[in-house]
Structure 1
Amino acid sequence: MSASTRKRRWLTIWAITASAALVAIPAGAAPGGSGSPFGARALARLAADREHSVGALTPKAKADDDDGNEADEIAEGADQYAEARTSPGIVAPGAYGAAWTSLTNLPATGGSWRNITDLPYDSDDSRYRDIDSNSSGGSGDVTGRMAAIAADDDGYVYAGSAGGGVWRSKRGGGNWKPISDKLPSQSTGALALDGAGRLWLGTGEANTNADAYLGSGVYVLSDPHHGSFSTRSRVGGDELESTTIRQLRFAGGKVWAATSEGVWSHSTKRLTGAWKLEFAPNPDYLPGGSKAHDDSAAYKNITNDIAFDPKDPSKVVLAVGWRSGDDYNGFYTKSSKGTWTRITSGFGDLPTDADNVGTVTFARAADGSRYYAIDESPEQMASNPDSGLEGIYSAASPFGPWTKVADYKQLAADGSALTSSGYMPGVQAWYNQFLTVDPANPKHVYAGLEEVYESRDGGATWSTVGPYWNFGFSCWSIDPAKQTGDCNQTTHSDQHGVAIGRYHGKSFVYVGNDGGVYKRPVDGAQDTSGHATDWTSLNDGTIDTLQYYSVGVGKDLDHGGVSVTGGLQDNGQSVLRSNDTVMGSDFGGDGGDTLTDPANGCDTAEEYVYLSVQVTQNCAVNDGSWVTDASKATSYNVAPADNATSEARFIAPLATDAKDSNTWIAGGRHVWVQTHGYAIRSGSEWKSVYDLGAGRTATAVAASGGKVYAAWCGPCNNQGFARGISVGNADGTGWHDISLPADGTVPNRYLSGFAIDPKNADHVFLAVNGFSRHWTEGPGAGVGHVFESTDGGTTWKDISANLPDVPTNAALVLSNGGLAVATDLGVVYRAPGRTRWQRVGSLPAVAVLQLKPSPDGRTLYAATHGRGIYTIKVRDLR
């Protein structure tokens, strides 16, 4: 595996995760009272319909073959992230709202959470400068994804994160404070300052990626310099609950919101009263409509942006459409009679046909003399592996005629770093977009895709002022002695938000991306290649929005205490030694599951995707040899064979035997076992001990004393969803499928985790994802989220009791005999000998994806997807 192969992986955003992918918008979170949250993972109904994700392409990237289109990986990951919460059916509105109400009404345990990752996280930490990290790429200090940015002329900057709320700086960036922790949604879709200086927040991230969350509406802060958002500051009623909000625009005494359920408006003077639905292209698919429960409802009314005639605010253009294409995609305008019609002519170069209008962003010059637009093309996204960008356009009026001022080939030729990695600008144009105009110069434009671009002449020429990274440039070498010194800091990749503001009399541009917030002077300096020389990371550690999927804890043998590591959305693997004041990153790309030796925290294994596993026995600290040969590196590729055949899930399960850290279990189509522990050096050292069967893939694995449990699904989506449990021994003997009763004792939903009693391997707990049948309209959805077996999985009992009906992600038997469960809305706990559940601490409305104990069992570690890693003392859980 070459250095470039590993580093190219950074382009994935989890499908989301992750980031990130082509399916998004959950049907889950729901209208409800003003106190309901809305953390549904992005994807509800869309994930069930692969026809609508980027050409229904399948992932190709593997551990040693990374030549596939990584946008396809994102699509696959998005599908799978959604499947866990929606299969076997679709989730009805109201689910997350009811869950949040139930959770906040639970009795609380003692103790309080402590954030241990609220310190700088240096992606360029020189200790880990290795071919499997992204160190020296140029992103510097990073944090989690920022979806929106706002800034004023008094030095105040506001950063809206994907899952960790809104943060304020009064120093032009840095020294951040959270200002939305009281809200039931920590997911940001849009931030905007109005003419009166009020800060408007539209909740619900609208990047249509996998780990996006729905929102609870729009909020306004009258004194953003000093105040904090509260539920009392919500604008209007519950009309915008359970939507995503991509843009907030102001005109004619109104605020307009482009949402996943049409375009709405509200008075900016009288904040009470309902929002008005201005336009929805397919109203039958809205909540309450005749087709509201159709599988395609989630993407039938997506709107992207709004542009107004500055001389007549009643004249408006709407950019409408689902990024993967639908027959309603296009631009619409309102007639004097109040009816909406599609624009079909007179628009110039900017397409009006449905196939070439996807995700769109507008920007207007302060004096109204110029307008700009970015357009992503569904047709290109489905057919062109290089880019989904149709182009960047300019016009004197939002009604056209528009002139194309850039396409992806032009941007690629203007200093892009993507081409050295085999991609082109706009390869993820459905996910990465921002656009803004310098208030002092209508021809000075900043555009964001995967990179940051700048034009000072209205789009005639462009510079890549924020390249994807420095890898591939002639100035870069893995050996610092061989660098020319011309590689400057850049921003993290994958751009989402932008704002221009002033601090100490100087103008700055602020950008938000998958690595947090960065700034540079608006009229900043460039080198001869057009790359900026003056970016500053504002991710100083006071802002922790890190999106963890996993956490691992082991003794720090060099410094005492413990070493904590974890896998992150688009920010690799973090390493926090006990004496660190700055976290480092020893693996690049997306970080999936994590294994850490409790006896030695530098013995770690990190998953990328599809069981692509790297292992190190020295925390991947570079030994100074600066090798580019993977066989001589400080980490080793040890992927099981299911990685090469793509028969593992995007984020596949890994575990060590609770009694023997040298025995590892991995789950794909097969259950894999290796007994070399962290001394493993090759994927060939894994042994398949059980074939789950064609079309099946593991969703959770656990082992104790040689007894192995494996949960699987197959098919894993709504079309014939099935799940099961297989049990056997690590030596390959005794394997069999558990016969789950047809009475629904264990629901027909995604099985997400096991927790084995350390005193008895036949005593095991099962965490079940998704919502129960009250909310899930699918066969066999069943009830309950936590189940217990005392006979090795042969029979199960529902022990959910008063547990809120919320997706559960993981479970852990604690050293005191109690049971902790991670959910999409926090952590719950059942004390030894009790049957009722308590809420652990008071985390904001953030998902917890994994729980791990400290080596001595006295501390519980929680990996949150938006607010870093937290700990709490087990003795305090009373």
Structure 2
Amino acid sequence: MSASTRKRRWLTICAITASAALVAIPAGAAPGGDSSPFGARTLAQLAAEREQSVGAMSPSLSAEDDDGNEADEIAEGAAQYAEARTAPGVVAPGAYGTAWASLTNLPGTGGSWRHLTDRPYNSDDPRYRDYASNSSGGAGYVTGRMAAMAADDDGYVYAGSAGGGVWRSRTGGGQWQPISDRLSSQSTGALALDGAGRLWLGTGEATTNADAYLGSGVYLLSDPHHGTFSARTRVGGDELESTTVHQLRFGGGKVWAATSAGVWSHSTRRLSGAWKLEFAPNPDYLPGGSKAGDESAAYKNIANDIAIDPKDPSKVVLAIGWRSGDDYNGFYTKVDGAWTRITSGFGDLPTDADGVGNVTFARSADGSRYYAIDQSPEQLNTNPDSALEGIFVSKSGSPTGPWTKFADYKGLAASGSALTDSGYMPGVQAWYNQFLTVDPSDPEHVYAGLEEVFETKDGGSNWSAVGPYWNFGFPCWSIDPAKQTGDCNQTTHPDQHGVAIGRHHGKTWVYVGNDGGVYKRPLTGSQDASGHATDWTSLNDGTMDTLQYYSVGVGKDPTYGGLSVTGGLQDNGQSILRSNDKVMGSNFGGDGGDTLTDPANGCNIAEEYVYLAVQVTQNCAVNDGSWITDPSKITSYDVAPADNATGEARFIAPLAADLKDSSTWIAGGRHVWVQTHGYAIRSGDQWKSVYDLGAGRTATAVASSGGKVYAAWCGPCNNQGFARGISVGNADGTGWHDITLPVDGTVPNRYLSGFAIDPKNADHVYLAVNGFSRHWTEGPGAGVGHVFESTDGGTTWKDISADLPDVPTNSAVVTPNGGLAVATDLGVVYRAPGRTKWQRVGSLPAVAVLQLKLSPDGSTLYAATHGRGIHTFKVRDCG
């Protein structure tokens, strides 16, 4: 299928947890995990008319795409994000918490951050119906990934984001306020309201995806209508620091936590005192255990959920196991006082290790039904269509069963799913996408979340895909709404993670959280003839900005004056905010990687999808969809260099323009690629390979000034035999050589994440180094330091980290006054010219900043945060 016939897929290419009160999961070491780099496969979703009209255009994605296994792609993206933060070894617990304390103790600069993206973001913006966008798909207003939801009967709704904290609405959704900004972790794993109306927060996102961050424990708000979380509201001690929390459940006077370090419990009445470890299948792999430093330790005690018998709270079933499979995977219950694996008498619900992966439980309010979703490791590893084992019910109301399967992926596919036209089936990412809830007033009315939202009103005899993946491919759809043959209603963004049921103004609503934010509909809503809901409402009104940017680009707006700001996002494409906009638009779909924007013309944009699948536009990709009938109306072009097709570029691969010549671009895969056509490039063939980094190596950062090019690489890039290096040469292909980095650890053997070249002298360059120092990292050559300086073109380096906190460092930029601003996983720091010490820039929450850019006139810093949108800061205020 040609690139012109596709829409960007939203099937999230992300997996394996990385970090944020500590990075503990070593990339590439998961037992049973897949590791083949197949590249980013798309969903072939467009109607036949597109293929007929523009089918001659060349594809931008690799030839392997159509044959790749989805699980392989997900695992690859996951491994690479985690590699940057863990290599060359395993990171010990407490690293992020210590770094946050150090950062907050730094002296601050003057000034404050301005929030730029605090407005609605319309994924269906009709201005951008380019062939590479998802406009008209039906998701509407979106924001960043939501991991958990809670709601009460007084109109209060709580949304826990992946990396932007917890938010509260007092109006049944919308008009959001952040309520966890004072915490050292802004990553949400679970939200739950107990019987007393108190709100419990488990930090650390547990979706085992690429950009998930670990947490700092469990917190409680006794008055969630008015209070905010703080360090003082933490329950227990530090037992749950540096874990993820998948679920919080209540029973027998205790709160139970399913975590990445086993199952723990705590009294709900006495909040002081330590958490009790109820069960860990492999305790030797826990912190302090004899195998805690093993590369597989982070996968050995994963707990997914807890089911407690409402009629007898002493009967508890634990769902335990790593999504890709391990010998310990299974269901456990207490027998004669000891946790014992269930091997029989469970009915249809599998008890073998290959059949039990990620599991979610839900029970009816009257206690008559228990439900479960089960993801199968065997399916994940062998079935490219779906990883879903099934949805099950225990009609005894007890979690001990017997369980009956009442839905599988084939049946759900026939219920109005939008995935079937793409060659996938529901549950293809069931290890990542799961929720389950039961109507409090009807034990047979169930909502299940996978990539899509499904509903049954009769206990599973009939299902409807009430929240289909998107509207593309349905008979009602047309890129021009005036030409729709039916009524394509709004749907939700794909990839479901959280669900809650609550009341507002006397009406009951279901709230779902997914990769695009929060949506609601009446609990018993309306459907069209295909079973699709007609009454979804997006609650992403711009007051809650949890957008997860990888990059940012800034240029002068050629039409309206002022500036045009764009950036690549996790699963939300490319946002564009022009100077006169009250609503941001989306001109590219799918995942958005690195970004280049012409400082002189902000409508000249190059956007990386993933794996160096680069597209370019010279009109901001403004398009009304008329390219369907007139191919000459296409306004963006696939220009991927060849490493995209061969799979030799990283998931988010580096892309840069020369500081002195915006028409010279550098891209990094196995090769260092250069093209000199600027934004007028129209084909991937116009790139030239100027240097081969070598088999098994791939670029992690590139930069160029006046034709002098720096390229950092890793290879191998995982924790087993990790190696890194720097190559230097000229854009014309001359003078290339590998720098001999000293073995004394001057530049650590960690992931090299960014260069900042002094615009006055191309031989004067700074290097940002990711990961943690040897104090935290159990790996060879981890060394110390995060920022290094060279004044001789990279031949020698000096550690200038000084009092910089020991935290993963992502990028840097030299300010016009000669200062140095550095983006870290916990915010931005600055070193003034002539100084050696660092200052904290403003007071962002504990959010990762992945990239910094300067405005065209150099007066303003633009920070791409991975969880709180784009923020700006006046350089003069840095001091």
How far did residue 93 of structure 1 move?
A: 1.7
Q: 1:145–1:514: 8 Å Cα contact kept in structure 2? A: yes
Q: 2:26–2:89: 8 Å Cα contact kept in structure 1? A: no
C-alpha distance after superposition, 1:22-47 (max 9, x if no partner): x2254xxxxxxxxxxx3446xx4341
Question: Within 2, Cα distance between the matches of 1:450 and 1:71?
Answer: 14
Query: Any stretches of 5+ residues in structure 1 without a counterpart?
Result: 16-20, 27-37
Q: 1:450 to 1:402 in 2, by over 3 A?
A: same
- 1:717 corresponds to: 718
Question: Within 1, Cα distance between the matches of 2:589 and 2:10?
Answer: 7
Runs of 4 or more off by more than 3 Å in structure 1? 1-6, 38-41, 54-62, 628-632
C-alpha distance after superposition, 1:97-124 (max 9, x if no partner): 2211111111101110011001000000
- 2:283 corresponds to: 283
Q: 1:859–1:873: 8 Å Cα contact kept in structure 2? A: yes
* RMSD (Å), alpha carbons: 1.4
How far did residue 460 of structure 1 move?
A: 1.2
How far did residue 175 of structure 1 move?
A: 0.2
Aligned pair 1:476/2:462, yes or no?
Answer: no
- 2:653 corresponds to: 652
How far did residue 94 of structure 1 move?
A: 2.1
Aligned pair 1:124/2:124, yes or no?
Answer: yes
Report SS of the residue matched to 1:7. Answer: coil
C-alpha distance after superposition, 1:155-189 (max 9, x if no partner): 00000000000000011000000000011110000
- 2:339 corresponds to: 340
Q: 2:554–2:598: 8 Å Cα contact kept in structure 1? A: yes
C-alpha distance after superposition, 1:400-425 (max 9, x if no partner): 11110000000001100001111100
Question: Within 2, Cα distance between the matches of 1:352 and 1:629?
Answer: 56
Matches within 5 A, 1:425-464: 425-464=426-465
Q: 2:26–2:83: 8 Å Cα contact kept in structure 1? A: no
How far did residue 634 of structure 1 move?
A: 1.1
Q: 1:295 to 1:181 in 2, by over 3 A?
A: same
How far did residue 9 of structure 1 move?
A: 2.4
Report SS of the residue matched to 2:74. Answer: helix
Q: 1:805 to 1:46 in 2, by over 3 A?
A: closer
How far did residue 743 of structure 1 move?
A: 1.2
How far did residue 588 of structure 1 move?
A: 0.3
C-alpha distance after superposition, 1:760-803 (max 9, x if no partner): 00100001111111111111111111111111111111111111
- 1:48 corresponds to: 28
How far did residue 57 of structure 1 move?
A: 6.7
How far did residue 310 of structure 1 move?
A: 1.1
Question: Within 2, Cα distance between the matches of 1:668 and 1:202?
Answer: 38
Q: 1:671–1:690: 8 Å Cα contact kept in structure 2? A: yes
C-alpha distance after superposition, 1:557-583 (max 9, x if no partner): 211110000000000000000000000
What amino acid maps onto 1:667 in structure 2? G
User: Which segment drifts farther, 614-623 or 581-590?
Assistant: 614-623
Matches within 5 A, 1:664-743: 664-743=665-744
Question: Within 1, Cα distance between the matches of 2:721 and 2:534?
Answer: 54
How far did residue 298 of structure 1 move?
A: 0.3
Matches within 5 A, 1:7-406: 7-11=7-11, 13-15=12-14, 21=15, 23-24=16-17, 26=19, 38-40=20-22, 44-49=24-29, 51-54=31-34, 58-59=38-39, 61=41, 63=61, 65=63, 66-67=65-66, 68-335=68-335, 337-395=336-394, 396=396, 397-406=398-407
Report SS of the residue matched to 2:327. Answer: coil
Q: 1:2–1:630: 8 Å Cα contact kept in structure 2? A: no
Q: 1:327 to 1:758 in 2, by over 3 A?
A: same
- 1:35 corresponds to: none
Report SS of the residue matched to 1:344. Answer: coil
Question: Within 1, Cα distance between the matches of 2:281 and 2:4?
Answer: 44
Question: Within 2, Cα distance between the matches of 1:73 and 1:60?
Answer: 7
Question: Within 2, Cα distance between the matches of 1:811 and 1:747?
Answer: 17
Question: Within 1, Cα distance between the matches of 2:255 and 2:727?
Answer: 55
How far did residue 87 of structure 1 move?
A: 1.1
How far did residue 631 of structure 1 move?
A: 6.8
- 1:793 corresponds to: 794
Paired-residue identity, %: 83
User: Which segment drifts farther, 109-118 or 87-96?
Assistant: 87-96
User: Which segment drifts farther, 778-787 or 625-634?
Assistant: 625-634
What amino acid maps onto 1:350 in structure 2? L
Q: 1:628 to 1:219 in 2, by over 3 A?
A: farther
Q: 1:219 to 1:629 in 2, by over 3 A?
A: farther
Question: Within 1, Cα distance between the matches of 2:723 and 2:641?
Answer: 24
- 1:574 corresponds to: 575
Report SS of the residue matched to 2:664. Answer: strand
Q: 1:596–1:604: 8 Å Cα contact kept in structure 2? A: yes
How far did residue 867 of structure 1 move?
A: 0.3
User: Which segment drifts farther, 93-102 or 700-709?
Assistant: 93-102
How far did residue 744 of structure 1 move?
A: 1.2
- 1:757 corresponds to: 758
Question: Within 2, Cα distance between the matches of 1:146 and 1:169?
Answer: 14
Question: Within 1, Cα distance between the matches of 2:661 and 2:824?
Answer: 28
Q: 2:21–2:94: 8 Å Cα contact kept in structure 1? A: no
- 1:810 corresponds to: 811
What amino acid maps onto 2:697 in structure 1? R
How far did residue 63 of structure 1 move?
A: 1.2
Q: 2:18–2:211: 8 Å Cα contact kept in structure 1? A: no
Report SS of the residue matched to 1:10. Answer: coil
Question: Within 1, Cα distance between the matches of 2:674 and 2:215?
Answer: 42
With normalisation by structure 1, the TM-score equals 0.96
Question: Within 2, Cα distance between the matches of 1:56 and 1:795?
Answer: 36
- 1:18 corresponds to: none
Report SS of the residue matched to 1:379. Answer: helix
How far did residue 491 of structure 1 move?
A: 0.2
Q: 2:659–2:704: 8 Å Cα contact kept in structure 1? A: yes
With normalisation by structure 2, the TM-score equals 0.96
User: Which segment drifts farther, 223-232 or 563-572?
Assistant: 223-232
Question: Within 1, Cα distance between the matches of 2:214 and 2:699?
Answer: 28
Question: Within 1, Cα distance between the matches of 2:70 and 2:603?
Answer: 30
Report SS of the residue matched to 1:288. Answer: coil
Question: Within 1, Cα distance between the matches of 2:430 and 2:4?
Answer: 22
Report SS of the residue matched to 2:500. Answer: strand
Question: Within 2, Cα distance between the matches of 1:677 and 1:101?
Answer: 44
How far did residue 627 of structure 1 move?
A: 2.1
Report SS of the residue matched to 2:406. Answer: strand
Question: Within 1, Cα distance between the matches of 2:541 and 2:785?
Answer: 42
Q: 1:6–1:588: 8 Å Cα contact kept in structure 2? A: no
How far did residue 742 of structure 1 move?
A: 1.3
C-alpha distance after superposition, 1:474-513 (max 9, x if no partner): 1112233321241100000000000000000000000000
Q: 2:21–2:96: 8 Å Cα contact kept in structure 1? A: yes
Q: 1:39–1:846: 8 Å Cα contact kept in structure 2? A: no
C-alpha distance after superposition, 1:811-857 (max 9, x if no partner): 10011110000001100000011111111011000000000000100
Report SS of the residue matched to 2:144. Answer: coil
What amino acid maps onto 1:359 in structure 2? N
Report SS of the residue matched to 2:97. Answer: helix
Q: 1:39–1:824: 8 Å Cα contact kept in structure 2? A: no
Q: 1:145–1:161: 8 Å Cα contact kept in structure 2? A: yes
- 2:48 corresponds to: none
Q: 1:59–1:69: 8 Å Cα contact kept in structure 2? A: no
What amino acid maps onto 1:416 in structure 2? S
Aligned pair 1:767/2:768, yes or no?
Answer: yes
Question: Within 2, Cα distance between the matches of 1:500 and 1:50?
Answer: 35
